[in-house]
Amino acid sequence: MKRELENLVAAMHAGGITYAEAVREFKRRYLITVLAHHKGNQCKAAKELGMHRNTLSRTLAELDIDTAQIRIGLKRPPRSERPVFEVRQGTTRFGITS
């Protein structure tokens, strides 16, 4: 993982990304990952991050992160949008032909 981080930092530096931009993007990605793990629950995410929930909420606002979008992205799509699997005759439910 250390090597991957070093490569990422080198690529960001070569690409002209400023320190402030790099820190902001890291914070965004890290917080989104933790929030997704807790299904958008800010209280649980804040506890894992070791910060007060109000601090997390303020940081999310500063970084333009919408927890509602995270929760929506984790929900199952409505039945009308789910893929339909066709059952063919001669196959079992495991897809083995009889």
Q: Does 18 fall in a domain?
A: yes
Does residue 79 lie within any of the structural domains? no
The low-confidence residues of the chain, meaning pLDDT below 50, are none
The per-residue pLDDT of the chain, averaged, comes to: 84
Is residue 84 a part of any domain in this protein?
no
| Three-class secondary structure of residue 56 per DSSP | helix
Q: For residue 50, how many C-alpha atoms fall within 13 Å in the half-sphere facing its CB? A: 0
pLDDT value at position 67? 85
Residue 17 belongs to domain with CATH number = 1.10.10
Q: Are 63 and 34 in contact (CB under 8 A)?
A: no
Is 48 inside any structural domain? yes
Residue 91 lies in a domain: no
Residue 22 placed within a domain: yes
Does the residue 95 lie in any domain?
no
Query: How many separate domains does the chain show?
Result: 1
Q: Which range of residues forms the domain containing residue 52? A: 2-69
pLDDT of residue 69: 82
pLDDT at 86: 62
Among residues 67, 59, 63, 62, which one has the least CA distance to residue 38?
67
Residue 28 in any domain: the answer is yes
